[in-house]
């Protein structure tokens, strides 16, 4: 007779393939396991409630989503793009550089790759494709690629999810993402420069330097948001969750009172949209909390740790294997599912190999973001394809150079831990 754990896994996979949300599939599989194993099914509810009751940090997720949505309906994105264009638009492939630079700035506000692609992405794609300056497929590809910076530079919703399963400090994880995020931006800017020279992309008309102070002044309230956000966290004034609330409130105040660009109807629709997004993530978290009880009962993490130790891998070999595993999983699984299902199983093995958990968190999140631009799942590819109405094949052909550049950055992030941990250590991290 097949054991309950195997049947539960089969049920989760089958339901997911059938189109059931992964969170609901995990809940259903967990209930099946408890019933077949003779446990009280109410244990699942108990695990769910305990996990949410102790997960104060999780409140940051809907608040960061709300902040990003408010910035998208206000004129913040337009002002930020004008600022970026004034700074880097004058170079060869200038609007591509604007795309990269604007993602770096917006990532310090939203914490979400999807918010970056949907909000700033729509505007910059229209700018790039206007008058045939750039092929729509290239505009879609670079927009999808640069959106992966969003959850790496703090704040970061995936980092919050990783903190939940690894019991690490959100503040230190945020700090650890800063240098890797800037590295990702640098390699993509370099690749855009190479592609611009190879394909003869235009040099845009330079914004006169005398206009730069005015453009900077108009964008300053928006530019101050990351400063307030990160300054509050690392200054010990607010927790990451409180910082998310401050970000949402600040975005609303400057959009309504200063820029006067948000109507009540638009704000109401934003609340509804944000609630739906937060609810979808909440279902995924709920499913992971119940399923994690199942894998703990089955002692899967320790069994996997023993198996990997038995393979006698070096730390370098182990990290290569983990990168390959998560990159492959990213082709078929959503990033949140990887963080909440796969990572808890790997953590005991990571600790046994002597790998720092904050460093490992950055590796995992970068891998998960790469999954957003790799087929067949590639959520960011689908988003930019819907914006540009370009065939997926054309976008995939144009995004491969950026994937290669990001893989180079991933190698540095993986094998030079001091590069990742330098800033957290300056802030007091002992790892």
For 90-149, the pLDDT digits (tens) are 777 778 888 888 888 877 666 677 777 776 777 788 778 876 778 999 989 999 999 899
pLDDT at 378 > cutoff 90: no
Region of poorest pLDDT, from 251-255, 294-298, 426-430: 294-298
Give the pLDDT score at 422: 93
pTM of the model: 0.80
- Model confidence at 68: pLDDT above 70: yes
Q: pLDDT value at position 186?
A: 94
CA 80/CA 257 separation, integer angstroms: 18
Per-residue pLDDT band for 211 (boundaries 50, 70, 90) equals confident
pLDDT of residue 411: 95
| Confidence grade of residue 414 (pLDDT, cut at 50, 70, 90) | very high
Per-residue pLDDT at 134: 83
pLDDT at 225 over 90: no
Token pair 């995990």: residue: 26
What's CA 410's distance to the chain center, in Å? 15
Domain ranges of the chain: 40-426
Is 49 a residue whose pLDDT tops 80?
Answer: no
> 380: closest CA among 389, 391, 369, 390?
369
State how far the Cα of 404 lies from the Cα of 393, in Å rounded to an integer: 17
In sequence order, the 6+-apart residues with CB closer than 8 A to the CB of 213 are none
Q: Residue 223: pLDDT above 70?
A: yes
Q: Tell me how crowded residue 10 is: count the other CB atoms within 10 A of its CB.
A: 13
- Check if the beta carbon of residue 406 is closer than 8 Å to that of residue 147: no
The answer to whether residues 281 and 40 touch, using CB atoms and an 8 Å cutoff, is no
Answer whether residue 1 shows pLDDT above 60. Answer: no
**Chain centroid, CA 203 distance in Å:** 31
Query: Which tokens is 349 given?
Result: 């093995």
Instruction: Identify the pLDDT of residue 336.
Output: 77
- The rounded distance, in Å, linking the Cα atoms of 174 and 45 is 31
């Amino acid at each position: 007779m097949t054991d309950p754990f195997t049947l539960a896994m089969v049920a989760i996979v089958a339901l997911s393939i059938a189109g059931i949300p992964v969170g609901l599939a995990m809940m259903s599989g967990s209930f099946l396991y408890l019933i077949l194993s003779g446990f009280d099914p109410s244990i699942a509810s108990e695990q769910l409630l305990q996990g949410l009751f102790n997960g104060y940090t999780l409140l940051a997720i809907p608040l960061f989503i709300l902040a990003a949505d408010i910035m998208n309906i206000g004129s913040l994105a337009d002002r930020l793009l004008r600022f970026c264009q004034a700074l880097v638009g004058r170079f060869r492939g200038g609007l591509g550089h604007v795309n990269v630079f604007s993602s770096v700035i917006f990532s310090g506000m939203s914490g979400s790759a999807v918010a970056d692609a949907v909000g700033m992405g729509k505007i910059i794609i229209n700018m790039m494709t206007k008058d045939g300056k750039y092929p729509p497929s290239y505009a879609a590809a670079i927009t999808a690629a640069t959106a992966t910076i969003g959850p790496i530079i703090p704040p970061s919703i995936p980092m919050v999810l990783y903190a939940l399963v690894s019991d690490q400090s959100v503040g230190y994880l945020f700090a650890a993402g800063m240098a890797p995020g800037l590295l990702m931006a640098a390699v993509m800017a370099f690749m855009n420069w190479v592609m611009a020279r190879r394909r003869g992309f235009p040099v845009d008309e330079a914004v006169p330097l005398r206009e730069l102070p005015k453009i900077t002044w108009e964008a300053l309230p928006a530019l101050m948001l990351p400063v307030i956000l990160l300054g509050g966290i690392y200054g010990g004034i607010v927790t990451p969750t409180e910082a998310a609330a401050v970000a949402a409130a600040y975005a609303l105040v400057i959009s309504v009172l200063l820029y006067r660009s948000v109507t009540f109807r638009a704000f109401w629709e934003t609340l509804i949209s944000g609630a739906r997004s937060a609810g979808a993530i909440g279902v995924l978290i709920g499913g992971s909390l119940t399923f994690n009880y199942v894998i703990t009962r089955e002692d899967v993490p320790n069994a996997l740790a023993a198996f990997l130790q038995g393979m006698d891998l070096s730390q370098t070999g182990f990290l290569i294997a983990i990168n390959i595993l998560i990159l492959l999983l990213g082709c078929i699984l959503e990033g949140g599912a990887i963080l909440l299902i796969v990572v808890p199983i790997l953590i005991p093995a990571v600790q046994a190999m002597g790998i720092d958990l904050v460093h490992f968190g950055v590796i995992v999140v970068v891998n998960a973001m790469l999954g957003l631009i790799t087929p067949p799942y590639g959520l960011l590819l689908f988003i930019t394809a819907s914006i540009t109405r370009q065939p997926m094949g054309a976008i995939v052909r144009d995004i491969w150079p950026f994937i290669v550049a990001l893989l180079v950055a991933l190698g540095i992030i993986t094998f030079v831990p001091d590069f990742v941990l330098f800033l957290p250590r300056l802030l007091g991290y002992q790892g």
